[in-house]
Amino acid sequence: MAERKRKALPIAAIIATIPLMIESVGVYIFGIGLSVYFSFTNTRVFPSYKFTGFGQYARLWTADIWWTAFKNIWVFGFLSIAANLIFGFLLAVFMDQRIKQEDLLRTIFLYPFAMSLIVTGLVWQWVLDPNYGLDATVHGWGWTSFHFSPLVDARTAIYGLVVAGVWQGAGVTMAILLAGLRGVDAEIWKAARVDGIPMWRTYLFIALPMMRGAVATAVVLQCINVLRVYDLIIAMTGAGPGNATMMPAVYVLQMLTDRQNVAQGMAAATMMLLPVLLTIIGVGVYRLFAGRKAVTA
Amino acid sequence: MSAAVLEAGARPADEPWGPMPKRVSIGRIGLYAFLVISAAFFLVPLYVMIITSLKEMPEVLDSNVLSLPLKPTIQPWIDAWLHACTGGDCSGLHPGFFNSVKITVPAVIVSIGISSLTGYALSFWNYKGANLFFLLLIFGAFVPYQVVIYPLILALRTVHLFSTLAGIIAVHTVFGMPVLVLLFRNFYVGLPIELFKAARVDGAGFWQTFFRIMLPMSLPITVVALILQVTGIWNDFLFGLVFAGRDNWPMTVQLNNIVHTTQGVPNYDINMAATILTAAVPLAIYFISGRWFVRGIAAGAVKG
């Protein structure tokens, strides 16, 4: 049957997958290859194909701004992923307690995700405004020692970004983890109760390990969002104050546009690609050795 | 549904809600307290946006972000739509809105059309080697956009589509495809193979099977794809900024320009009205589609 199917392979199927071929080869092999190649040239605005070695990388890793971006992505990534997962997990667990109004709460927790990160950034910039925002409001209530306007201070601006990022994305993590929780075998809860295991321990040590798939999905999603973070920065801090909240994605775009230094930007972009590439290769090798589970994606 | 949410947005914690638990335990109270406080955290920015946009500037500067407007006005909304300035251009946000429509509608149709066809070909007419392209495409879903932006600029310049409407539509199609193809492929793989075989026995070819049988059956997944794409493209900022060109800048780009180019004291009231206007389309889709939206997110999330 399979034999016949292949023999009957129509030209139509190939025609239908032409866009797929063009895109996967053209954009993801040729395009990325070209980007990486440009990082070894002196391209400013228009492409120059003359190979000049690792100079761009040397310049990149001696640039203070890039180091700031590099440190920021780790701080931002660690804080926002940790906060997102903890908050999302707590919300999922609490939503799982047979509460009424679950649909309403789900709607409330998830709606920020429907809005763009530009909108998110602009709203939080206003909420955290030092003169008219949260600070001023709480002071007006009489709590004058209250202080939370992180965006104006170079040392704290990144925490403001974390708050906004968690606000936008925690609902999604909640939705993913709640689906994971609901997929856990119901017998587990009965068995744990019979054994007298407290509820919180059942969640943390029995249910959580059983929903690895959902957790992995949430983590991967968060990692991609952190690596790509651009809109939020532009809307909320413009990478400032100074360059305090510079991020790799912003650095690349600045090199491509204002600074007109494409090769330098491509070197930075290549560094952004590296963790993705290493992870995929790592996962691939792991799967290969772990007995080739079906690639269900 | 949306009205209920907005009302709750104004006063999330005022009245007890949900049914009385049979035994009011400490734990139960703590549970609801946590959920209500969390809901407040999520709702406060929306509340702040709305009330700020209903105040006039003197009142904004005189009150705090949480206080209700004393003299509600919709003037900021009118100004945001028609008169807000970006640099020297004071035509408000409405050109951005229409640009976003002009970008989103064709990009959504083209990307969904191509992706459903590709997903169908991959699931029923899979030939040797096709999956290799498919794996490459999945890899594409994880790649940071910054790595492919410059080659795309070069390619579009070569065909004179850089900074044009057609160019930005093409870019959205390219970046929408990885997730969409995955979505459609997984959907078609889940359909019973007998359906396909029966069509073959009846003499239907590749295209006939697709248009007469598969396409009508894929309505649910198409709705999910539609939600995913419309919100995704509407909310995009980076591609619009780089590829659309000044004349075609989408709403998000114009919004950011309006908010960040004001001189002197920013017009917070107009800024917030503009922000709500930009968020309105995806929010409306979200509140109308409800659970479908969650499915779309789940589908988009299961990239790996």
Task: Give me A3's structure tokens.
Answer: 């034999």
Give the mean pLDDT of chain A.
87
Closest CB from B127, B260, B304 relative to A297: B304
pLDDT in the model for residue A132: 83
**Nearest C-alpha of chain B: how many angstroms from A187?**
23
Distance CA B24, CA B26 (A): 7
**A4, pLDDT greater than 50:** no
Question: CA B117 → CA A26, A167, A207, B81, B121, distances in Å?
Answer: 19, 37, 39, 39, 6
Nearest chain A residue to B200 by CA distance is A5
Closest CB from B118, B151, B154 relative to A20: B118
Q: Which residues of B touch A30 (CB under 8 A)?
A: 151
Query: If pLDDT is split at 50, 70 and 90, which confidence band does B116 have?
Result: very high
What pTM does this model have?
A: 0.87
pLDDT in the model for residue B155: 93
Of all residues in chain A, the percent with pLDDT exceeding 90 is 41
Closest CB from B32, B41, B143 relative to A32: B143
Q: Which residues of A touch B301 (CB under 8 A)?
A: 172, 176, 217-218, 221
**B262, pLDDT greater than 70:** no
Nearest chain B residue to A94 by CA distance is B31
All domains of chain B in start order, with CATH: 2-73 (no CATH), 94-301 (1.10.3720.10)
Q: Which residues of A touch B114 (CB under 8 A)?
A: 19
Higher per-residue confidence, B262 vs B164:
B164
**Nearest C-alpha of chain B: how many angstroms from A233?**
11
pLDDT in the model for residue B303: 40
Cis ω on the peptide bond leading into residue A241 (within 30° of 0)? Answer: yes
Average of per-residue pLDDT across B136-161:
89
Closest CB from B127, B151, B260 relative to A9: B127
Task: Give me A61's structure tokens.
Answer: 């890793």
Nearest chain A residue to B181 by CA distance is A20
**B11, pLDDT greater than 80:** no
Q: Flag if B236 and A19 touch (Cβ within 8 Å).
A: no
Of all residues in chain A, the percent with pLDDT exceeding 70 is 94
Q: Flag if A94 and B34 touch (Cβ within 8 Å).
A: yes
Q: Which has the minimum average pLDDT: A94-108, B11-25, B74-88?
A: B11-25
Distance CA B291, CA B289 (A): 6
Kindly tell me the number of DSSP H helices and DSSP E strands found in chain B: 16, 0
Closest CB from B154, B182, B235 relative to A297: B182
- The strand pairing partners of B86, in sequence order, are B89
Q: Flag if B152 and A27 touch (Cβ within 8 Å).
A: yes
Query: If pLDDT is split at 50, 70 and 90, which confidence band does B1 have?
Result: very low
pLDDT in tens, B140-152: 888 888 899 999 9
Q: Which has the minimum average pLDDT: A205-209, A235-239, B61-65, B238-242?
A: B61-65
Q: Which residues of A touch B234 (CB under 8 A)?
A: 116
**Nearest C-alpha of chain A: how many angstroms from B94?**
16
**Nearest C-alpha of chain A: how many angstroms from B200?**
10
**A190, pLDDT greater than 90:** no
Distance CA B97, CA B79 (A): 14
Distance CA B210, CA B217 (A): 10
Question: CA A175 → CA A106, A296, B35, B284, distances in Å?
Answer: 8, 21, 14, 20
Give the mean pLDDT of chain B.
84
Highest mean pLDDT among B119-128, B174-183, B200-209, B275-284: B275-284
Closest CB from B272, B297, B304 relative to A220: B304
Q: Which has the minimum average pLDDT: B86-95, B161-170, B177-186?
A: B86-95
- A49 exposure class (CB count in 10 Å sphere: 0-12, 13-18, 19+): exposed
pLDDT in the model for residue B298: 64
Q: Are B303 and B138 in contact (CB under 8 A)?
A: yes
pLDDT in the model for residue B297: 67
Residue matched to tokens 């406060």: B44
- B157 exposure class (CB count in 10 Å sphere: 0-12, 13-18, 19+): middle
Average of per-residue pLDDT across A198-209:
86
**Nearest C-alpha of chain B: how many angstroms from A65?**
17
Nearest chain B residue to A101 by CA distance is B18
**Nearest C-alpha of chain A: how many angstroms from B206?**
6
**A296, pLDDT greater than 50:** no
Average of per-residue pLDDT across A118-139:
88
Mutation pick from B59, B146, B293 vs chain A, by most beta carbons of A within 10 Å, is B146
Average of per-residue pLDDT across A210-224:
89
pLDDT in the model for residue B100: 95
All domains of chain A in start order, with CATH: 64-246 (1.10.3720.10)
Closest CB from A38, A115, A249 relative to B144: A249
Q: Flag if A24 and B5 touch (Cβ within 8 Å).
A: no
Highest mean pLDDT among A41-45, B20-24, B236-240: B236-240
Query: If pLDDT is split at 50, 70 and 90, which confidence band does B13 have?
Result: very low
Tell me, what amino acid is at A165? G
Question: CA B136 → CA B15, B146, B189, distances in Å?
Answer: 53, 17, 19
**Nearest C-alpha of chain A: how many angstroms from B74?**
19
Average of per-residue pLDDT across A253-266:
91
**B7, pLDDT greater than 70:** no
- B182 exposure class (CB count in 10 Å sphere: 0-12, 13-18, 19+): buried
- B119 exposure class (CB count in 10 Å sphere: 0-12, 13-18, 19+): buried
pLDDT in the model for residue B62: 79
pLDDT in tens, A260-279: 899 999 999 999 999 988 98
Highest mean pLDDT among B9-18, B120-129, B252-261: B252-261
Q: Which has the minimum average pLDDT: A2-16, A174-188, A277-291?
A: A2-16
Tell me, what amino acid is at A66? W
Q: Flag if B64 and A140 touch (Cβ within 8 Å).
A: yes
Q: Which residues of A touch B52 (CB under 8 A)?
A: 126
Of all residues in chain B, the percent with pLDDT exceeding 70 is 88
Closest CB from A107, A119, A280 relative to B5: A107
pLDDT in tens, A36-94: 999 998 888 888 888 888 988 999 999 999 999 999 999 999 999 999 999 999 999 99
Distance CA B278, CA B95 (A): 12
Query: If pLDDT is split at 50, 70 and 90, which confidence band does B299 have?
Result: low
Burial annotation B246-264 (CB, 10 A radius, 16+ → b, else e): eebbbbbbbbbbbbeebee
pLDDT in tens, B171-210: 999 999 888 988 898 888 888 888 888 888 888 888 888 8
pLDDT in the model for residue A119: 94
Q: Flag if B117 and A171 touch (Cβ within 8 Å).
A: no
Average of per-residue pLDDT across B110-126:
88
